[in-house]
Amino acid sequence: MKFCSECAHPVALAIPEGDNRPRYVCAQCSAIHYQNPKLVVGSVPVWEQDGPLKVLLCRRAIEPRYGYWTLPAGFMENEETTGQAAVRETEEEAGARIELGSLFTLLNVAQVHQVHLFYLARLLDLDFEAGVESLEVRLFAESEIPWDELAFPTIRKTLELFFEDRTRMREGGVHGFYSHDIVRPMRSAGA
Ligand code: ZN
């Protein structure tokens, strides 16, 4: 952040009185600009009506990670619930209509100031199509998942947990809810 959103004066990092960490503070109007993590919300859309279970993935048409596969997900908007965000993102990125299930994963990505939430979901039909942020959208059986071409660690973690649960469900288990902290290794110099 460079300029105050209240008065357009340049801001500077400072620890406000009574606080314990640096904030962007405006010397002109005294506004303190707090920055907090963003929520990324998505779904695990599943189709299993005619044959083995398949999961819907989207190939990204935008940076970061252009060309890599992801579950439909995106930043939550103001005035919506997390469930509404999951349904909306699935519609926007995959052109897919879903029946939302329960919350499945909560993944802290503290290094990039994000929390990712994924809901279980059932595809209502096969009339999906790539939205403007996707190059293509298709169904993958477990054996077809492009593990080396997944866009983000939270996508990999959610899919791993999903298929582990499915294995347990064949023995009578049910889907659980999982919370994990994603910690990326620090990049070495020049990497
Ligand atoms: Zn200001």
CATH classification number, 1-35, choose in 3.20.20.10, 2.20.70.10, 3.30.1370.100, 3.30.230.70: 2.20.70.10
Please provide the average confidence, as pLDDT, over all residues in the chain.
95
The pLDDT > 70 percentage for the chain reads: 97
Across the range 32-47, mean pLDDT stands at 97
Q: How far is residue 88's CA from residue 98's CA, in Å, rounded to a whole number?
A: 10
Q: Compute, in angstroms, the gap from residue 37 CA to the centroid of ligand 1.
A: 22
> What pTM was computed for the model?
0.91
Model pLDDT, residue 188: 59
Q: Compute, in angstroms, the gap from residue 77 CA to the centroid of ligand 1.
A: 25
Across the range 75-100, mean pLDDT stands at 98
Q: Compute, in angstroms, the gap from residue 23 CA to the centroid of ligand 1.
A: 13
Model pLDDT, residue 20: 95
Q: Compute, in angstroms, the gap from residue 25 CA to the centroid of ligand 1.
A: 8
Where do you find CATH 2.20.70.10 in the chain? 1-35
Q: Is the pLDDT of residue 115 over 90?
A: yes
Where do you find CATH 3.90.79.10 in the chain? 38-181
Q: Which two tokens stand for residue 131?
A: 């939205």
Q: Which two tokens stand for residue 113?
A: 């100031």
Show Cβ contacts of residue 172 under 8 Å, excluding neighbours closer than 6 positions: none
Across the range 11-17, mean pLDDT stands at 95
Residue 190: band (very low, low, confident or very high) from pLDDT cuts 50, 70, 90: very low
Residue 191: band (very low, low, confident or very high) from pLDDT cuts 50, 70, 90: very low
Q: Compute, in angstroms, the gap from residue 16 CA to the centroid of ligand 1.
A: 14
- What distance lies between CA 147 and its chain's CA centroid? 17
Q: Compute, in angstroms, the gap from residue 24 CA to the centroid of ligand 1.
A: 10
Q: What is the CATH number of domain 38-181?
A: 3.90.79.10
Q: How far is residue 129's CA from residue 157's CA, in Å, rounded to a whole number?
A: 25
Residues within 5 Å of ion ligand 1, judged at the Cβ atom: 4, 6-7, 9, 26, 28-29, 31
Q: Compute, in angstroms, the gap from residue 15 CA to the centroid of ligand 1.
A: 16
Across the range 178-190, mean pLDDT stands at 78
